[in-house]
Amino acid sequence: RFSLYVTCLFSFFISFSLFSQGFNNTWYFGTKAGITFTTNPPTALTDGQLSTSEGCGTISNSSGALLFYTDGRTVWDKSHGIMSNGGGLNGDASAAQSSIILPKPGSGSLFYVITVGISASVGMQFSIVDMSQNGGLGKVISKNTPINTNLVEKVTAIKHSNGVYYWIIGHESGSAKYHAYLVDCSGINTTPVTSDLTSAGGIPADTWGYLAASPDAKKIAFAAQTSGIELADFNNSTGVFSNPINLGKLTNAGVTGGHYGISFSPNGKVLYATSITNWGLYQWDLTATDIPGSQVFIDDLNGSAGSRPSYRGGALMLGPDNKIYVCQTGQSFLSVINNPNTLGTGCNLQKDAINLGSGVCRLGLPTIIQPFLEPPVITVNPINFCEGNSATFDYNGFDVSVLDSIKWVFDDPASGTLNESNLISTSHTFNTGGTFNVKFIRFLNCFTDTVVKTINVDKTPQIPTSISYSPGTAICSGTTITLTANGGTNPGVSEYVWGTTSGGSDLGSTTTNQLQYAIQDTTTFYVSVSDNGTCLGGSLPTGVKVTVPKKGNQLSNEGESATCYVSGNSLVHFYHVPSGRYIGSVNPQGRTGILTMTSYVYNSGATGSMYWCGDPSKLIYHTEYLGRRFTVKPTGTITGSNNMLVYFPYTSSEIANLYVSSIANLNPNDDVSTIGNIHATKFDGIGGANEEGDPTTNCTGGTSVVLAQDNSGNLTSLSLTPTVIGTNYYTSFSVSDFSEFFLHGKNNLSPLPIDLLSFSAICQESPFIQLNWSTATEENVKQFIIQQLDIENEWITVENVDANGNSSTQQNYSLQTRAFSPTSYFKLISVDFDGSTVEYPPVSVICENSKIDWTIYPNPSSGKTYIQLFSDCEAEYNLSISAINGKIVFDTFISIYKGENLININLDNIAKGAYVVKVNNKQYAPIKLIKVE
């Protein structure tokens, strides 16, 4: 697998790296106008000294810092003073493209300033600037060397196919001839490559108008004042032009001509032009079958003129942000074509987009090379491979056919003579894993550069020798088991792949040798190792079979039990062995241990009465109980302190029996008319002589606790499997410990201190949740405790709410709180004045749009990263960053203010890899962070 960076090293040809990025990030033009692209959007510069009605040129370094600029007559240095010997150039400020600046190939300090005059007799000339002089301010060391004396006032430069040389392009006055002058390591060849396109239908390039090249250097277009617009092909290896297309003349509002600005879109598929006398901006689709017929009028341009043919609009120039900028005569703004690759008005011409401050735009914008120079790129296929495998290396960049030579060096001396290659596309086999710095070197005359790509060749992992699992006993449907791959070797970049078939991957992969899996049925597990699916180490041919008690389709019979290991936060289902009949389920809510659940069924249905143990003589409190009771007993210690959720099933026929029995005892207060009237009584104290099926005998050994059913329906509604034949129901509630449980009807004269009517949670505007609860009666109730399940599955107290105390009428309560995650769980506890408590079943609510309390960006990060965190209060928290193995690599304290917080974290001293970021507040879930080079 390759690292996420490429290091480029350049030698001799310093200007290649110096100008490959921000060379045109600073523009000066018009009357002391300028913009910088170091901001987005670009902003005005008002320190320029240039005042030109049309042409100009500007050059910056790779960071976008200004080097110098010119109007074709005078050269200003970066301090905005006239450069040494910088006056008297033979360009003209009234020439449409008075100048263009380009570096001399093979030099890190010399630049050519190409100028053209307003008269064809002046033509094209060049001067030379040496930036090594005057402490980096530069000096003009040569002036006004003639190139051609019969060219119109337009000029541009195009990169050569080798990516090192240039072509300077001019157009002969009054003819259809292009002239291309090669700029190589020796200098400017003043003998041109001339292309006469007269017979091919080329048009004359009269007087004003811009000349522009496409970004891929394969096409050129010009605007001629009266002749119109022309598009032609250009061979940037030979300098030859061909296939001219006359795009016609521009007409708007009865005015024809005035063609001036010209620019290609960034993808080279759309062409734009302006007329400064009919004020129009126009567009062509260069992919159309009929390109001239694809012309679209975009909009009128702004300017200072009051009536045609006075000038509006002006030059077009593609900026480094891939937007086209439009000059507007006499205005202190620039227009912008925001989406130049889009056809039609969707290109989004924005007038008055860039405020120039005190500067004023005239007709011209700086003539720049499109594009300048681009670094080469190395591609490797495949991108991930292992030791002993071959990879193909290709160079994607400029035309290598014009280079003197190339060479690959693979940083693999153990391969002997195969460590180098002179082929453009080549392959290499790395027989050992490790890190390799592969070099691609280009040689051309005065130019040499080296591109280095660092790759990691992965070692082949060795398969494990066995799989073990825990717990080893008491595994039931829903138990979370830990599978461990033993033996073998597994390099740090590899992963374990798990499946239920040999070589399978249906259970996913892990970066460690363990898999947590909630098993449902008897399953055989297999494991293999790979480098993220690429560098296969093979599969363990023999899996491990984990047996789970079978699941039947009936409820349990009298005295049937099952022992299960419970852990995590999902349902574990208890089935009798060997019949497979369903007994019940437990969600341990983060607690861990072994439980035995037993069901007791009375064939006659409801067989007795329960009553308030505090006063057995009060028959009005009697209630009939269901013909099914349960015990849940721990085997050893159950770790943790959270309440567990238990689910006890029963059949519709049992409810019918309970209803009949309730009527038979002639107790009008025993209400079992609906499913919602089924309650459960749990007796404190586990085991003992009193747990024999008679609730009256438990009165001396514990306190009865009655809890309302919180849901009803088919067993499948809670994913309790299997689907039981017929209509079946369950009662579910939470408990902190276990004992004997009875299911019975609701007695409207219950002596409990509270009769709870409802408890619900409702989503509000993220991240808030409204809790509502109502009581029918209250007797000596002091307060209510509201608890919420945090991200570590622990119940934490959210708020204490004062109760009414004593009431025989309905009381309504509400509380607003925050969500910790999209799914939230809440629990209500009533507290009597004597300290006794009653805990009610939890409720849940899913709020999909709950606000994330904290986030990290950018993620992945190469260095500096930010933590955005919302807090309800001021606090100081511990923030730690840990590796996957748990080792803490960063630890600090952060001060948090109420509301939104933005914290800057520097990761420069942390190695690349995967980490976990934690805040010591359970409201904020841990976040995985990836550090890259």
> In this predicted structure, what is the pLDDT of residue 538?
64
Are 769 and 640 within 8 A, CB to CB? no
Residue 652, helix vs strand vs coil: helix
**Residue 617 and residue 656 in contact, taking contact as beta carbons nearer than 8 Å:** no
| C-beta neighbour count of 450 within 10 angstroms | 15
Whole-number Cα distances in Å, 742 to 555, 596, 628, 704, 739: 17, 17, 7, 10, 10
Degrees, nearest 5: CA angle 546-548-551: 150
Q: What does the alpha-carbon distance between residue 605 and residue 587 come to, in Å, rounded to a whole number?
A: 28
The two tokens of residue 887 are 């080792």
For CA atoms 85, 90, 95, 100, give the dihedral sign. negative
Q: Mean pLDDT per 10-residue run, the chain (933 residues)?
A: 28 34 85 93 94 93 88 96 95 92 88 90 92 95 92 91 88 93 93 95 90 93 94 95 96 90 94 92 96 94 70 90 92 94 94 93 89 67 81 78 84 94 91 89 81 84 87 92 85 77 87 90 88 64 88 87 92 91 91 92 71 61 80 87 85 79 67 70 63 67 51 61 64 77 70 63 82 80 85 75 82 84 80 75 68 70 78 81 81 81 82 83 77 77
- Give the up-direction half-sphere exposure of residue 638: CA atoms within 13 A in the CB hemisphere: 25
Kindly give the residue spans of alpha helices, DSSP state H, lying in 469-616: none
Q: Both tokens of residue 180?
A: 């291309």
> Which residues face 36 on adjacent strands?
26, 43
Q: Cis before residue 42, ω within 30 degrees of 0?
A: no
Coil/strand/helix, residue 418: helix
Q: What is the pLDDT of residue 31?
A: 94
* Token output for 879: 């923030």
* C-alpha torsion sign, points 34, 36, 42, 47: negative
- C-alpha closest to that of 325 among 381, 287, 368: 368
One DSSP character per residue, 224-284 reads ETTTEEEEEEEETTTTEEEEEEEEE--EETTEE--EEEEEE-TTSSEEEEEESSS-EEEEE
Nearest to 514 by CA among 477, 547, 467, 554: 467
Q: Please give the Cα distance from 928 to 426 (Å, whole number).
A: 39
Q: Which residues contact 617 (CB under 8 A, 6 or more apart)?
A: none
> What tokens does 729 get?
């129901």
Whether 13 and 447 have beta carbons less than 8 Å apart is answered as yes
CB-CB contact of 89 with 70 (8 Å): yes
Rounded to whole angstroms, how far apart are CA atoms 207 and 211?
Answer: 12
CA 645 to chain centre: 38
- At 843, list the tokens: 């409720």
- Written as six digits, the tokens of 168 are 């300077």
Contact 655, 629 (CB under 8 A): no
Answer positive or negative: Cα dihedral of 514, 520, 525, 529.
Answer: negative
Q: Give pLDDT, residue 342.
A: 95
In angstroms, the CA 30 to CA 42 distance is 17
pLDDT score at 306: 57
- CA distances (Å), origin 650, targets 246, 259, 673, 712, 744: 88, 89, 16, 11, 11
Q: Report pLDDT for 698.
A: 67
Residue that is written with structure tokens 């209060």 in the block: 873
Q: What is the DSSP string of 56-101?
A: -EEEE-TTS-EEEEE-SS-EEETTSSBPBT----S--TTSTT-EEE
Q: What whole-number distance in Å separates Cα of residue 447 and Cα of residue 190?
A: 22
Query: With contact defined as beta carbons under 8 Å apart, do 34 and 46 qualify?
Result: yes
194 forms bridges with which residues in the sheet?
179
Measure the CA angle with vertex 907, ends 906 and 908; round to 5°: 95
Cβ atoms of 196 and 180 within 8 Å: the answer is no
Angstrom distance (rounded) from CA 711 to CA 718: 10
User: What is the C-alpha separation between 640 and 637, in angstroms, rounded?
Assistant: 9
Closest by CA position to 513, among listed 565, 465, 567, 459: 465
Strands 728-735 and 251-252: unpaired
Q: How far is C-alpha 66 from the chain's CA centre?
A: 35
Residue with tokens 């009798």: 576
Sheet holding 240-248, edge to edge: 211-213, 219-224, 228-235, 240-248
What residues contact residue 135 under an 8 Å CB cut-off, 6+ apart?
Answer: none
Q: What is the number of other CB atoms lying within 10 angstroms of the CB of residue 500?
A: 13
| φ, ψ of residue 516 in degrees (nearest 5) | -90, 130
Using CA atoms, how far apart are residues 922 and 722, in angstroms rounded to an integer? 36
**Angle at alpha carbon of residue 321, lines to 320 and 323, rounded to 5°:** 105
Those residues whose C-beta lies under 8 Å from the C-beta of residue 779, and which sit 6 or more positions away, are 753, 754, 806
User: SS3 for 128-195, per residue?
Assistant: EEECCCHHHCCEEEEEEEEEECCECCCCEEEECCCCCCEEEEEEECCCCEEEEEEEECCEECCCCEEE
Question: Quick one: pLDDT at residue 547?
Answer: 92
Is the bond into 841 cis (omega within 30 degrees of 0)? no
Rounded to whole angstroms, the Cα distance separating 884 from 694 reads 54
387 in Cβ contact with 457 (< 8 Å): yes
Residues in the chain: 933
**Eight-state DSSP code of residue 658:** H
Residues β-bridged to residue 839: 829
Residue 474 gets the label, from left (phi > 0), alpha (psi -120 to 50) or beta, of left
**What pLDDT is attached to residue 613?**
57
Tell me what pLDDT residue 723 has: 54
